[in-house]
Amino acid sequence: MSTARPRDALPLPRLIVATRNPGKLREMRRLLAPFSWRILSLDDVHFDADLIEPGPGYADNARAKATVVTASTGFTALADDSGIEVDSLRGWPGPRSARWMSGSDADRLEGLIAEVDRRSPDDRRVRYVCVAALARPEAEPVLARGECLGTLVAPRGSGGFGYDPAFLSNDLGVTFGEADDAAKDTVSHRARALRRLAEAGVLEAQLSYQ
């Protein structure tokens, strides 16, 4: 005869964050902390394959990454594709934000500022965009989009990652490089995408009582 166990005694189901970006992994861990998951990295599950981004859009890339990790491991996987879009440049660099030029994050940040200085010095409005995809075994992936608005400025602060030091948030009045984690996590594009996944009910982990 089986005896039901208390909810807090049950093993947490696994959720793999499908990214090799250490800054994004840290941020995802914070954003997922309220939910009942055991958060794992790709290294934790020995997933060594490349994460292919077939494009052309954020949704295509997020869906592809989450789906391949779930298919390979049998666990729920969360992936996102995100980028910065310059309004006056018709959303460039967008989904190519992490690879539109070679080099480091700092190189791309410097390059973006130089491009905006050259092509659109009087209109520096930008937005961060994130599409998150949650893939589960034997279920269709669920996608959600989040955006936040800002202005491209000279880098300030050392927090965050990617373009954060130059993203002056309309919501916070400081750059994401200056903002602390708690403040950024209330308004960021990634936080808003995950909030929409939560509203869809798919971030509530299903605990087994058997």
Six token digits for residue 81 = 């594709």
Q: Is 105 a catalytic residue?
A: no
Which of 43, 44, 50, 81 is labelled catalytic?
Answer: 81
Residue 190's domain is classified under what CATH number?
A: 3.90.950.10
In a domain, 209, yes or no: no
Residues whose CB falls within 8 Å of the CB of residue 65, separated by 6 or more in sequence, listed in order: 18, 19, 51, 52, 53, 77, 79, 81, 133
Three-state DSSP at 159 gives coil
109-144: pLDDT as tens digits: 999 999 999 999 999 999 999 999 999 999 999 999
Is residue 208 a part of any domain in this protein?
no
Distance CA 201, CA 117 (A): 43
Q: Is 103 exposed, middle or buried (0-12, 13-18, 19+ CB in 10 A)?
A: exposed
Provide the whole-model pTM. Answer: 0.91
Q: Is position 1 within any domain?
A: no
- Percentage of the chain beyond pLDDT 70 is 92
* 55 is a domain residue: yes
Is residue 58 a part of any domain in this protein?
A: yes
Residues spanned by the domain of 191: 7-199
In a domain, 205, yes or no: no
When divided into structural domains, the chain yields a total of 1
